[in-house]
Structure 1
Amino acid sequence: MMTPVLYTCAGSRGLRATWAAEEAGTEIDLRILPFPPRYLAPEYLELNPLGTVPLLIDGDTQLTESCAIAHYLATRGGTTDLAIAPGERDYGEYLDYTYHADATITFPQTVYMRFAIFEKDKGWADAGHAYAKWFHKRLVKVEQRLDVREFLCADRFTVADICVGYALILAQSVGLDDGVPQRLKEYRARLTARPAYQRAVAREEAGRTALNREG
Structure 2
Amino acid sequence: MKPLTLYTNPQSRGRIIRWLLEELNVPYDVKVMQYGSDIKTANFLALNPMGKVPVITHGDVVVTEAAAICAYLADQFAEKQLAPKPDSAERAAYYRWLFFAAGPLEMATTAKAYNWRIDADNAQAVGCGIYADTLNALETALAKGPYICGEQFTAADVYVGSHIEWGMMFETLEKRPAFIEYVQRLQTRPAAIKANELDDALLPQPA
Distance 1:173 1:128 in 2: 22
Match of 1:82 in 2: 82
Query: Per the alignment, do residues 129 and 192 of structure 1 end up closer, same or farther by CA in structure 2, a change over 3 Å counting?
Result: farther
Two-structure CA RMSD over aligned residues (Å): 2.6
Indicate if the aligned counterparts of 1:19 and 1:200 stay in contact, CA closer than 8 A: yes
Aligned amino acid, residue 167 of structure 1:
H
Distance 1:88 1:186, change over 3 A: same
Q: Distance in 1 between the 2:104 and 2:116 partners?
A: 17
User: In 2 relative to 1, CA 2–45 (structure 1 residues): closer, same or farther, beyond 3 Å?
Assistant: same
Question: 65-74 or 96-105: which moved more?
Answer: 65-74
Q: Give ranges in structure 2 of 5+ residues lacking alignment.
A: 120-125
Matched residue type, 1:206? A
Paired residue total:
196
* CA apart distance, 1:180: 3.0
Structure 1 unaligned spans of 5+: 117-125
Residues 129 and 12 (structure 1), Cα distance of their counterparts in 2 relative to 1, 3 Å cut: farther
Between structures 1 and 2, the one with greater helix share: 1
Pairing of 1:17-56 with structure 2 (within 5 A):
17-34=17-34, 37=35, 39-41=36-38, 42-43=40-41, 44-56=44-56
Provide the secondary structure at the position in 2 that maps to 1:106.
helix
Greater shift in the superposed pair: 193-202 or 102-111: 102-111
Offset of residue 84 of structure 1: 1.1
TM superposition shift of 1:127: 2.4
Question: Are residues 17 and 23 of structure 1, via their aligned partners in 2, closer, same or farther at CA, if it must alter by over 3 Å?
Answer: same
Q: CA deviation at 1:136?
A: 4.9
Match of 2:164 in 1: 168
- What is the TM-score normalised by the length of structure 1? 0.79
The alpha-carbon distance between structure 1 residues 136 and 162, as it changes in their structure 2 partners (threshold 3 A), is farther
Deviation at 1:78? 3.3
Does the CA contact (< 8 Å) of 1:84 and 1:90 recur in 2? Answer: yes
TM-score normalised to structure 2 length:
0.82
